[in-house]
Amino acid sequence: MTFEEAKALIEQTLPEKRFIHTLGVVETAERLAKKYGENVEQARLAAMLHDYAKYFDAAEMRQVVREAGLDSNLLEYDDELLHAPVGAVLLGRAYHLEPAVLSAIRNHTTGEPGMSRLDQILFVADAIEPNRQYPGVERLRMEAEHSLEAAVVATLRQTIQFLLNKSVRIFPLTIETYNDFVNLP
């Protein structure tokens, strides 16, 4: 799948506000890929597609989790978590996409212990793209300028704090990713 094909698909799949967020993620992921020496085309494509399933019906996404044999733990947590792994499964079935691109899409919400540099770039770009506005985003943007791993940790800290403040369940993979990255030198 080419970038232009992905862009046309996403423009017709997502509402305008989410498409604008997506364009911000593309721009940021491209910049980070150049800065950290990762594959720019893969970063742009993964960013364009990352929220493909964001507004899909939750019951249908839960069905994909069962039928595709995804982690059944996903069914015990917020439906917001489903769009990343389910999006990767559906895109992988419908289009020819490299495993590295599908991995970045799959891991963009929770991260994953040991995730690739491309995964890290999309994970951070999603949190800091120019249209994002929340307390602490400027600090994350600064972290991303000096260390990708530090920015991953800072993004997870922000997410976990946000979830704690909302008194909602935290998906174990989010904590596992935090633990994996926090002690890196």
Cα separation, 34 vs 30, in Å, equals 6
Choices 36-44, 65-73, 89-97, 102-110; region in contact with ligand DGI by CB under 6 A:
102-110
Among 33, 43, 44, 51, contact with Fe ion (rule: CB under 5 A): 51
Amino acid (one-letter) located at 113: P
Residue 44 interacting partner from ligand DGI, Fe ion, none (CB closer than 5 to 8 Å by kind): none
Other CB atoms within 10 Å distance of the CB of residue 138: 11
Decide: is 129 part of the binding site for ligand DGI (CB under 6 A). Answer: no
Q: Of 62, 94, 64, nearest to 80 (Cα)?
A: 62
Smallest distance, ligand DGI to C-beta of residue 138, A: 18
Q: 3-state DSSP call for residue 109?
A: coil
Question: What track of x and - describes contact with ligand DGI for positions 56 through 95 (by CB under 6 A)?
Answer: ---------------------xx-xx--x-----------
Decide: is 129 part of the binding site for Fe ion (CB under 5 A). Answer: no
Cα separation, 63 vs 48, in Å, equals 25
